[in-house]
Structure 1
Amino acid sequence: MPGRGLSLLGPALVAGVAYLDPGNVASNMTAGARYGYLLVWVVVAANGMAWLIQYLSATLGIVTGRSLPEELGARIRSPWARRAYWLQAELVAMATDVAEVLGGAVALSLLFGIPLLLGGVITGAVSMVLLAVHSRRGPRHFEFVIIGLMATIVVGFIAGLFVAPPDPAGVIGGMLPRFADSGSVLLAASILGATIMPHAIYAHSALARDRFASTGSARQGTGPTHRIRTLLTATRWDVTIAMVIAGSVNLAILLLAAANLAGQTGTDSLEGAHAAITANLGGLIGTLFAVGLLASGLASTSVGAYAGAEIMHGLLTIRIPLLVRRLITLIPALVILGVGFDPTLALVLSQVVLSFGIPFALIPLLSLTARRRTLGEHANRLWTTVLGILFSALIILLNAVLLWLVLTG
């Protein structure tokens, strides 16, 4: 794309960090170690869905000048309905935060032998520094920091594939949609929740709004249409780059586990996976994996805190300073670390919680972006809406099957 367009990139890359959080690592690593290449198709399909969803979220923020939570807050008339919607969205954001802080704590333990509880405190403290960058220096500086962490994540998680590449036949076979048992369905829902994350849907619309705040009001026909079209073109590139990076890394994690950890005991935990990677691929690859995990926790927890603040502001018109909110939302993760709950199990379960929050973010997004009264000439085309409905139906169906398996298993 033209050089000038490069300056418009960034919001999707920040939102894309949500697809590279420790919950993704745990879900994809566990899937590869337990089922080999079986769930490759889930990672690929989820990433394709994520492209459309993130583009629609950014479009809403660019064209209307408001985030998805702000739009919903203005449209949900009943105060109790708004509070109920906020509560489910907030619980999903908290589940996200738990995964991210736990991942950072585990990484610090692997790298420096720091106790998990102290590692959680350090992860939270560093995330507060990153949020201070956003508050004091603005969204562009925040983007640069997060993109730098994303580059670290990419190196950390992909390096092992160059040492021990996967079996091509296994990868191709993994593209055939199927499940092996209820455990594979649970992991598929976990991968889905980790890939199409509700808080990323909320956050991307706000990130686009913050970056391009001067655009707005296009739905009333007063916005600069040419500028909006330029921004939407740049956003398509932005989302494509972000999803290619996120999808490649998530697939690399699963393939690394499938090729090197299948059948080995203890690899269903991050600590066990790190030990097996170190034993099979060498200390350098093991260290890079831990560094990537740390960068993943630090970057994603900062974006998650930003999303949670936007959810509260948009739905309840209450704005708590980001740093204060960060302190409050650290509590659940620190409690889990303090009582000694298995971090990896908590990570995987948190992703399942996320998968159940997807319809509450996705269905309103599709509804709003399909309306000409909301987006004017930039409203969804018919095929976009149809694809979105199909994706939503598939996600809800998978969650229903998962719930049935859990209740009857």
Structure 2
Amino acid sequence: MQAELVTMATDVAEFVGAAVGLNLLFGIPLFPAGLITAVVAFGILELSQRGHRPFELAIVGLLAIVVLGLGYDLLTVGADPAGIAGGLVPSFAGQESVVLAAGIVGATVMPHVIYLHSALTKSRNRCHDDASRQRLMRYHKIDVVVALSIAGLVNLTMVFIAASVFAGTDLLDRDGIVGAHRELGQMVGGGAALAFAVALLASGLSSSSVGTYAGQVVMQGFIRRRIPLFLRRAVTMLPALLILATGLPVTASLVVSQVVLSFGIPFALVPLAIVTSRRDVMGALVNRRSTTCAMWLVTVAISALNVYLIWRVVAT
């Protein structure tokens, strides 16, 4: 149940983000933009029925748009390198920064993707001996390192852009993403605002399809139930469409959904650390002691961040 809720939280964030992107680009009201996003998401999902390659190419293409768009914005706003370096030092400046930190962690290390990566690797390659498994593991490590590095850089770039343009103002608190887009165009230029909106749209479309796949893997692996992907896609759209239809604040909804992901990470990492340290399960691929220790340290750090966030919220 926890894994399914985390998957739906991801879908809310990405689906609402794509709808906001359409709204910023073409002025379409949020709810109709959400319906258009649904149609496009179904089209992307249809590619997955034609094999892994077309679906992967579509996701890579959308990801390239995100990276290029945010990279253009970062160069345009002229972020201070010294300020960027200083901002990478871990610190908190009030409750809002704790929420932001938890959201960034959740948005980067999406817990349901841990299950999805394993499922995709297993379904695509059939290994018959330890040598082939070791070779597959090397490729899998490269894939994960590249994916998480890009996700981390994208999230950091958005923070750098916001800090460079809106530092010392309360614009983001008042108007959220829509206000940020408007002011970005006025303060930096129309090209930067356009790149931001396109990147937001591409990010939402790509990640929402991944969430649908992950939800199917969770159901099939934990309770041995399988439902058609298109039915799952329709069901997981409902919370996001309700948010858009009822006029709830989209920026706050995006942030909360990412914080939910952060709370889901320990539920994926704890069993992963336990299982991968068991030789009777993993055989030759069992974790080294240093790997297991590192996993537990990361799990404890993320859990501590979540507990600290709860304490700050309750204390205030």
TM-score tier by shorter-chain length is over 0.9
Contact persistence 1:153–1:296 (CA under 8 A): yes
Residue in structure 1 matched with residue 64 of structure 2 by the alignment? 151
AA matched with 1:90: E
Contact persistence 1:158–1:253 (CA under 8 A): no
User: Does residue 348 of the first structure (1) align with residue 261 of the second (2)?
Assistant: no
CA drift at 1:176: 2.4
CA drift at 1:239: 2.2
User: Does residue 327 of the first structure (1) align with residue 234 of the second (2)?
Assistant: yes
User: Does residue 392 of the first structure (1) align with residue 299 of the second (2)?
Assistant: yes
Distance 1:98 1:175 in 2: 28
Contact persistence 1:157–1:253 (CA under 8 A): yes
Residue in structure 2 matched with residue 94 of structure 1 by the alignment? 8
SS at match of 2:142: helix
AA matched with 2:155: N
Residue in structure 1 matched with residue 98 of structure 2 by the alignment? 185
CA drift at 1:204: 1.3
Distance 1:127 1:202 in 2: 21
Offset from partner CA, 1:27-57 (integer Å, 9 cap, x none): xxxxxxxxxxxxxxxxxxxxxxxxxxxxxxx
Distance 2:85 2:302 in 1: 23
When structure 1 is superposed on structure 2, of 339-348 and 114-123 the one drifting more is 114-123
User: Does residue 198 of the first structure (1) align with residue 111 of the second (2)?
Assistant: yes
CA drift at 1:308: 0.7
Residue in structure 2 matched with residue 256 of structure 1 by the alignment? 161
Offset from partner CA, 1:259-313 (integer Å, 9 cap, x none): 1121234224111111121112211111111111100000000000110111111
Distance 1:176 1:334 in 2: 38
Contact persistence 1:117–1:338 (CA under 8 A): yes
Residue in structure 1 matched with residue 51 of structure 2 by the alignment? 138
AA matched with 2:3: A
AA matched with 2:227: I
SS at match of 1:267: helix
User: Does residue 225 of the first structure (1) align with residue 139 of the second (2)?
Assistant: no
User: Does residue 375 of the first structure (1) align with residue 282 of the second (2)?
Assistant: yes
Distance 1:132 1:318 in 2: 21
SS at match of 1:320: coil
Scaled by the length of structure 1, the TM-score of the pair is 0.74
AA matched with 1:401: Y
Distance 1:293 1:172 in 2: 25
Offset from partner CA, 1:316-370 (integer Å, 9 cap, x none): 1110010011111111111111110000000001111111111111111111111
When structure 1 is superposed on structure 2, of 343-352 and 262-271 the one drifting more is 262-271
AA matched with 2:290: W
Listed as ranges, the gaps of 5+ residues in structure 1 are 1-86, 216-222
Contact persistence 2:130–2:284 (CA under 8 A): no
After TM superposition, the runs of 4+ consecutive aligned structure 1 residues lying more than 4 A away are none
User: Does residue 238 of the first structure (1) align with residue 143 of the second (2)?
Assistant: yes
Distance 2:182 2:223 in 1: 45
Residues 3-402 of structure 1 aligned to structure 2 (within 5 Å): 87-135=1-49, 137-212=50-125, 214-215=126-127, 223-268=128-173, 269-402=176-309
Distance 1:293 1:286 in 2: 11
AA matched with 2:20: V
CA drift at 1:194: 1.3
CA drift at 1:122: 1.5
AA matched with 1:368: V
Offset from partner CA, 1:218-272 (integer Å, 9 cap, x none): xxxxx32222222222222222322332222222111111111212342241111
Distance 1:167 1:229 in 2: 43
Distance 1:176 1:88 in 2: 32
Listed as ranges, the gaps of 5+ residues in structure 2 are none
Contact persistence 2:110–2:261 (CA under 8 A): yes
CA drift at 1:140: 2.2
Aligned residues: 314
**Identical residues among aligned pairs (%):** 48
Distance 2:313 2:153 in 1: 30
The CA RMSD measured in Å over matched residues stands at 1.3
Scaled by the length of structure 2, the TM-score of the pair is 0.96
AA matched with 1:323: F
Distance 1:291 1:313 in 2: 34
Distance 1:121 1:246 in 2: 27
Distance 2:36 2:143 in 1: 31
Distance 1:290 1:372 in 2: 48
Contact persistence 1:267–1:276 (CA under 8 A): no
Contact persistence 1:139–1:210 (CA under 8 A): no
